[in-house]
Amino acid sequence: MFMQFEILKSDKNSSARLGKCHTAHGVFHTPAFMAVGTQGTVKALTPEDLREMGAEIILSNTYHLYLRPGHERIRQLGGLHRFMHWDYPLLTDSGGFQVFSLNSLVKISEEGVEFQSHLDGSRHGITPEKAVEIQEALGADIIMCLDECTPYPAGHEEAERSMELTLNWSRRCRDSRRRLDQALFGIVQGGMYPDLRKRCVEALREMGFDGYAIGGVSVGESKEKMVEVVSQTVPLLPSDQLRYLMGVGTPFDIVQAVQQGVDMFDCVLPTRNARNGMLFTKRGRLVIKNARYADDDSPVEPGCSCYTCRNYSRAYLRHLYLAEEILAMRLNTVHNHGRDPPGHGRRPVERMGQNLLCSGGFGTGRRKRTRATGPLGGFFPQKAGREEKSGAGENCVYEMILSKRPLPLERES
């Protein structure tokens, strides 16, 4: 079989689970945070960087690769794995979210979507069949059905129409697939309405897919509403298949969703914030351009083992950023994604989810007062220093999922 998913451990106090997925290009463990390589590269990082960080699966974007350099060119050059020098698990999205984000440049019909390229203004059309064709040419291990991302806010009637369109497209994607070495995921839509989400899941399960994604969240709704939608939707999905929460990746959202039983995540936050000079620490976000770091000889985060913190000071990183040096983006990104020194002992399933599962960190209701040694410590509330802002522990959570090293927990009474 082209893809196999096995559950290694389940939490007694929540729906969290640890898993392992076998694909044609190797294994990845869950919960998995996928670094986003939109155009066939995770910005500022090499594939070797990603592997040293412990990344096992990354994501690339169908829309961008279709427009440039083109899926047929990538096919002729040996497929996306070879093209980008990544011989490990790879997921491509359908491009639907990017197309719909073009707003006025898009025309949606039962047949598919017509849109104008943001590069040169040329007109293009993507049908469900075309979306599968493009992704089969790229050759990712996991591909996604074309769906309509329901806007927010949307009334019940609009959300229902959008959901029905997604179901129609999903059926056509399933029927048009030709490659059996790729897993095809269906995407659950339905806006913020539990009845529509339930209907969508039931219809997708009847069609039969290799995994299921939750789409149409983190599109402007409140955090409370997003958590509500996820918590209502996840239990409806098959327990023995992968569950993917699309486009959600803040540390708090990840931990909340892992507790609900979600296995996969993706987000541009670590790389985008790095390029904008915002660095993650256990105690909060550090804005490297601030004048207070001009003479600061300390690393971004004392005790951090990443290459950036082992070799460079805040003062130097501030200088690079203000001088608009390319190295600033690279060093900031290396830190935000979290990185162990070469040769550091790592075990494949000892990541964030396992630490929380094994330590009882999820608890039975209210979040326990937990202090963690190692990167987890920053996720839980602490008193922040004067230079830090909200968002403590973001680097910690990404590092725990990307790297597979043991992170022992200690309890406080």
Q: Could you count the other beta carbons within 10 Å of the beta carbon of residue 175?
A: 11
Report the 10 Å Cβ neighbour count for 369.
Answer: 11
Q: Compute the half-sphere exposure of residue 333: CA atoms within 13 Å on the CB side of its CA.
A: 20
B/e letters for 237-257, b = 16+ CB within 10 Å, e = fewer, are beeebbbbbbbbbbbebbbbb
Q: Are the C-beta atoms of 236 and 197 separated by less than 8 Å?
A: yes
User: Residue 240 catalytic?
Assistant: no
Amino acid residing at 189: Q
C-alpha dihedral sign at 35, 40, 45, 47: positive
C-alpha to C-alpha distance for 299 and 282, rounded to whole angstroms: 13
Catalytic residue selected from 11, 49, 147, 266:
266
How would DSSP label each residue in 272-325? HHHHTTEEEETTEEEETTSGGGTT--S-SSTT--SHHHHH--HHHHHHHHHTT-
Taking each helix axis from N to C terminus, what angle separates 251-260 and 352-359, rounded to the nearest 10 degrees?
A: 60
Q: How far apart are CA 33 and CA 20, in angstroms?
A: 13
3-state DSSP assignment of residue 181: coil
Closest to 54 in 3D by CA, of 356, 344, 395:
344
Q: How would you class 287 by CB atoms within 10 Å of its CB: exposed for 0-12, middle for 13-18, buried for 19 or more? A: middle
Q: Which residues contact 25 (CB under 8 A, 6 or more apart)?
A: 81, 87, 88, 89, 90, 141
**Alpha-carbon gap, residue 133 to 394, rounded angstroms:** 37
Active-site annotation holds for 93: yes
Q: Rounded to 5 degrees, what angle do the CA atoms 200, 169, 250 make?
A: 60
Exactly one of 93, 141, 147, 340 is catalytic; which is it? 93
Phi, psi of 367 (to 5 degrees): -70, 130
Selection from 89, 62, 391 nearest residue 252 by Cα: 391
Residues with catalytic annotation? 93, 266
